């Protein structure tokens, strides 16, 4: 949990096409990190399974999980080189199938948190990965209380509400959402922000990967559900927006859902 109160946190969300060579993905991430830092961002969020791609098959996911130590070292080098916190999707090893994971690194390259996707979507997720066994923790990032979710996770209101009740001010969400499910980005993500009075940053792919045509529409939503930044459904983009504590306080004064819940009924 945050023990210091920074007034703003500048967030970058990177909408990009899948890159199947993880070392090439690291090179591309380094270039995106440089752009994000130039724009003043303090944290950069990538799409789901960014280091190697998402719809790639069980054998390739196993291979990527075996490389995770090397890839995390590469991420740490990028974070240190650019003075930028990173939220990066990658396969992580387990005793069975790999985890669909995300690593959060500080601007010094130190691991702050890792999370394994808990809600597996369809055959692709279920054949490639095993499900995580616990929700994200709520951890401090530059003085803000932050939680993470991965793609399908954010479609479950219980998950976002639980993290908000645990004190999260911001949810960071790597995703690989495909067409025709554009309403996730345009309706559900803003709703998760507004109903919990939190910021939500949602980083999606564009382009084609196997049978999947990714839908873009990456966004950073304010705690009133409004778009602070929104990408198109077709082109790579780097979004940057500022989370402000005064906006958080205003929304929590006007939106009283947490305090008004009837926990005696549900």
Question: Any idea which residues carry the catalytic annotation?
Answer: 48, 117, 151
**What distance in Å separates the CA atoms of residue 21 and residue 10, rounded to the nearest whole number?**
29
**What distance in Å separates the CA atoms of residue 149 and residue 115, rounded to the nearest whole number?**
8
Residues paired with residue 111 on neighbouring β-strands, in sequence order: 105
The answer to whether the CB of 146 falls within 8 A of the CB of 169 is yes
**Element (H or E) spanning 181, and its range?**
none
The answer to whether the CB of 85 falls within 8 A of the CB of 44 is yes
**What distance in Å separates the CA atoms of residue 223 and residue 250, rounded to the nearest whole number?**
9
**What distance in Å separates the CA atoms of residue 49 and residue 107, rounded to the nearest whole number?**
21
Q: With b meaning 16 or more CB within 10 Å and e meaning fewer, what string describes 207-237? A: bebeebbbbbbbbbbbbebeebbbbebeebb
**What distance in Å separates the CA atoms of residue 106 and residue 92, rounded to the nearest whole number?**
19
Can you tell me whether residue 24 is helix, strand or coil?
helix
């Amino acid at each position: 949990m945050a023990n210091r109160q920074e007034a703003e946190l500048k967030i970058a969300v990177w909408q990009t096409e899948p890159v199947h060579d993880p070392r090439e993905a690291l090179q591309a991430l380094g270039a995106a990190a440089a752009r994000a830092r130039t724009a003043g961002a303090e944290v950069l969020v990538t799409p789901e399974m960014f280091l190697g791609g998402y719809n790639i098959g069980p054998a390739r996911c196993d291979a990527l999980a075996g490389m995770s130590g090397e890839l995390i070292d590469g991420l740490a080098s990028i974070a240190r080189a650019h003075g930028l916190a990173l939220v990066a999707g990658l396969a992580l090893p387990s005793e069975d199938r790999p985890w669909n994971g995300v690593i959060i690194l500080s601007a010094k390259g130190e691991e702050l948190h890792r999370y394994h996707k808990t809600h597996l979507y369809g055959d692709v997720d279920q054949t490639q990965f095993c499900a995580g066994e616990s929700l994200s923790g709520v951890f401090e990032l530059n003085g803000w209380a932050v939680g993470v979710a991965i793609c399908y996770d954010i479609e479950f209101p219980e998950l976002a509400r639980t993290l908000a009740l645990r004190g999260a001010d911001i949810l960071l969400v790597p995703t690989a959402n495909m067409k025709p499910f554009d309403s996730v980005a345009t309706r559900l993500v803003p709703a998760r922000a507004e109903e919990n009075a939190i910021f939500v940053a949602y980083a999606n792919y564009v382009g084609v990967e196997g049978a999947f045509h990714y839908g873009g529409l990456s966004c950073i939503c304010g705690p009133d559900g409004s778009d602070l930044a929104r990408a198109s459904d077709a082109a790579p983009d780097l979004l940057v927006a500022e989370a402000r504590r005064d906006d958080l306080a205003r929304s929590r004064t006007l939106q009283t859902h947490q305090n008004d819940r009837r926990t005696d009924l549900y």
